Amino acid sequence: MLKSKSKLAVWLTTVAIMASLFSSALVKDAHAGIANGSKFLGNIIANNVPSNFATYWDQVTPENSTKWGAVESTRNSMNWSAADTAYNYAKSRGMPFKFHTLVWGSQEPSWISGLSASEQKAEVTQWIQAAGQRYGNSEFVDVVNEPLHAKPSYRNAIGGDGATGWDWVIWSFQQARQAFPNSKLLINDYGIISDPNAAAQYVQIINLLKARGLVDGIGIQCHYFNMDNVSISTMNSVLNTLAATGLPIYVSELDITGDDNTQLQRYQQKFPVLWEHPSVKGITLWGYIQGQTWASNTHLVTSSGAERPAMQWLKQYLGGGGGQPGTGTGSGAYANFESGTDGWSASNVVSGPSSSADWSSKDTRSLKSTINMSSGSGHYMFKSGNADFTGYNQLRATVKGANSGNYGSGLGVKLYVKYGNNYAWADSGWKTISAGGQTDLTLNLSGVDKANIKEYGVQFIGASNASGQTSVYVDNVYLWN
């Protein structure tokens, strides 16, 4: 990516510049980053490694330094210095490294387009082999970047469209397999997460590669111009389309804009959709420090090192919840359901609530009820009685639906409170979950009479075309500042 923050037109041009992804079965640095477990949460490195990189991230993609035009701006004179910095850092920390990228129609060397076809083919081959010799222990390689949007000028020299329509892509992956026999080979593009038609076209290329044993994962960039306004249902639809190939998905260049509150809300809504999808094996963000991101307002940490609200939320979310536990079981709101229902009730349910080991978002148990869904049906799990939320700004919880019944367009979920002598209502706003899905809910308590809480809980609402029986779960209900 370019770092210019100038005009939109420049950004849109540079959009054609991104790409990247990574990995799965790697040994991770146990001390790096904010993500635990089998998935990585990575970021880019430009010329120097930010001092707080390992505080947040556990995977590395070079921002520009492994692009062909950056390495070989003068023909046959290779400059690997910045690439070495990123690669050596990743290797010294045990972080997966992704080489980004081998074949791409942007940031090519300027001299390539003027050569004969045979010279072009020889140069691309030489470039791929040189990269493999130097960085053959890369966990991931973006072989072809942006095939739908930025085809290389020299593509006719390496097979052109050919009989498959994508012979040049197949040729590129064949070369990469030879040069990087120990790496996972990825394809990468933008405009996918927000466009089911583009996803279907992308899958056509992927299936050509898969049939030849040439591709190991699918990269989707997920930049702000696709992410800021995409709907959850479109995201799920696209992820499921890609997952149907059987290949792992890597979110390769995530960024989201907005003022502090807008960015926070977008992260809260959309990051879990990516992170919790079973086929998504890792996420890489495209920058995080103010003044060092390619698009303004995508940063998560200010130039002075302060974390924006979205960063604070991301840490809490990936840390598995917790937060401030209120004041215990009397007033306050902490409920973890490890040893019972914590005094919660349910209404319009077939059975429950009960403490269940079916699922949990924190520790090993959650609160479960079984419900019969119908169009607009309302079901509740809640705790009534006086509670005092004084001193806290948010009430949070995680909810889940079982993979049974017909969820139609999605089961509606809301975290709510009733407060004051009139039992006034406030809630988190709608989210929807599909069968088997889960989501975090955050209720902003501003405007609520926090010293006079009468009831709090979760409302589940059947979609207009919902039917059948399912189970719903609530866990890790807590107060947060």
Q: Rule CB under 5 A: choose which of 33, 220, 475, 478 binds Ca ion.
A: 475
- Does 363 help bind Ca ion (rule: CB under 5 A)? yes
Among 43, 336, 369, 439, binds Ca ion (CB under 5 A): 336
Pairing outcome for strands 280-285 and 40-45: parallel
Minimum distance from residue 157 beta carbon to Ca ion (Å): 14
Helix and strand totals (H; E) in the chain = 11, 19
**Cis ω for the linkage preceding 442 (within 30 of 0):** no
User: Least distance in Å: CB of 159 to Ca ion?
Assistant: 19
Q: Is 253 a catalytic residue?
A: yes
CA 441 – CA 428 distance, rounded (Å): 7
Residue 14 binding Ca ion, by CB under 5 A: no
Binding segment toward Ca ion, per CB under 5 A, in 76-84, 196-204, 260-268, 351-359: 76-84
Please identify which of the residues 72, 123, 139, 253 carries the catalytic annotation: 253
Distance CA 24, CA 38 (A): 7
Which one, of 343, 345, 258, 337, lies nearest residue 296 by Cα?
A: 258
* Only segment of 73-81, 98-106, 112-120, 316-324 that touches Ca ion (CB under 5 A): 73-81
Contact status: 59 vs Ca ion (CB under 5 A): no
Considering only 8, 51, 76, 77, the residue that binds Ca ion (CB under 5 A) is: 76
Distance CA 26, CA 23 (A): 7
Phi-psi region of 71 (alpha: psi -120 to 50; beta: other; left: phi over 0): alpha
3-state SS of the chain: helix, strand, coil percent to 5?
Answer: 25, 30, 45
CB of 372 to Ca ion, least distance (A): 25
Q: Locate 6 and state its tokens.
A: 């100038």
Cβ proximity to Ca ion, 335 vs 411, nearer residue: 335
Q: Which is nearer to Ca ion, 31 or 75 (CB)?
A: 75
Residue 339, burial from CB neighbour count under 10 angstroms (0-12, 13-18, 19+)? exposed
Does residue 210 touch Ca ion according to CB under 5 A? no
Note whether 355 binds Ca ion by CB under 5 A.
Answer: no
> What are the residues whose beta carbons fall under 8 Å from the beta carbon of 270, sequence distance 6 or more?
227, 230, 232, 235, 256
Q: Which amino acid is at 107?
A: Q
358 makes contact with Ca ion (CB under 5 A): no
Burial of 48 (0-12, 13-18, 19+ CB in 10 A): exposed
The one-character DSSP state at 271 is H
The residue range among 40-48, 123-131, 174-182, 267-275 that interacts with Ca ion, by the rule CB under 5 A, is 123-131
**Rounded least distance, CB 42 to Ca ion, Å:** 29
87 or 337, CB closer to Ca ion? 337
> What is the β-pairing status of strands 98-103 and 140-145?
parallel
Residue 360 interacts with Ca ion (CB under 5 A): yes or no: yes
Residue 120 vs 336, nearer CB to Ca ion? 336
Say whether residue 73 binds Ca ion (CB under 5 A). Answer: no
Number of residues near Ca ion (by CB under 5 A)? 10
Specify whether the CB–CB gap between 248 and 187 falls below 8 A. Answer: no
> How many whole angstroms separate alpha carbon 358 and alpha carbon 44?
38
Among 24, 126, 129, 374, binds Ca ion (CB under 5 A): 126
Stretch that binds Ca ion, among 253-261, 281-289, 435-443, 472-480 (CB under 5 A): 472-480
* Shorter beta-carbon distance to Ca ion: residue 121 or 299: 121
Contact between 362 and Ca ion by CB under 5 A: the answer reads yes
Give catalytic residues, as residue numbers.
253
Q: Which residues here bind Ca ion, judged by CB under 5 A? A: 76, 123, 126, 336-337, 360, 362-363, 365, 475
